[in-house]
Structure 1
């Protein structure tokens, strides 16, 4: 069943963030993921939302594949380029089954 990774973080454009993006993109592709949205500002219809927080939505073939990507040495290398991951939130969601 398809699964999604949704990440939200403040917008930054620094050399370490650019290095992270490049390595993360390669690691996502290696594990069969694909971006559905990348670095976009959401339009909040309800609730409070920080104006500078961007969203990323990634689709994987399964929740197991998404978790394999997240725990991979390739993604660990991407994470190691960043010293500012504390302000980020990430969710893993299974897709709806087709019933």
Structure 2
């Protein structure tokens, strides 16, 4: 079953970004992930304004793939740089409809 990482990221500094993109791209692909969206072009239609600069959606083949990516030792320094250099919120959502 597919899982989706849904992120809201607002950089507080931009120095980490150039060193982050390449390794993150490779590791996402290594774990079978696929970027569905990485964009600053978004609008909020409902709820309290959250103001995130970037919205990112990644499709994963499984929960294990998503968690493996997040726990990968090669990703650890990049994750640390992103979390230190941004306000980030990351949600992992199972691709199913519990209300059907």
TM range (shorter): 0.7 to 0.9
Corresponding residue of 2:28: 28
Query: Contact 1:40/1:56 (CA < 8 Å) preserved in 2?
Result: no
Q: Structure 1 residue 52: deviation in Å?
A: 4.8
CA–CA separation in structure 1 for the residues paired with 2:52 and 2:89: 14
Alpha-carbon distance in structure 1 between the residues aligned to 2:6 and 2:47? 18
Give yes or no for contact 1:35–1:56 (8 Å, CA) kept in 2. yes
Task: Give the aligned CA root-mean-square deviation in angstroms.
Answer: 2.2
Shift of 1:14: 2.4
Residues 84-95 of structure 1: matches in 2 within 5 Å? 84-85=85-86, 87-95=87-95
Equivalent residue number for residue 38 of structure 1: 38
Q: 2:8 — aligned with what?
A: 8
1:34-68 alpha-carbon deviations (Å, 9 max, x no partner):
10001333211111334452110000101111111
In the alignment, is the contact (CA less than 8 A) between 1:41 and 1:52 conserved in 2? no
Residues 36 and 12 (structure 1 numbering): CA distance in 2 closer, same or farther, change over 3 Å?
A: farther
State TM-score, norm by structure 2. Answer: 0.80
> How many residues align structurally?
97
1:91 partner SS: strand
Gap runs ≥5 in structure 2: none
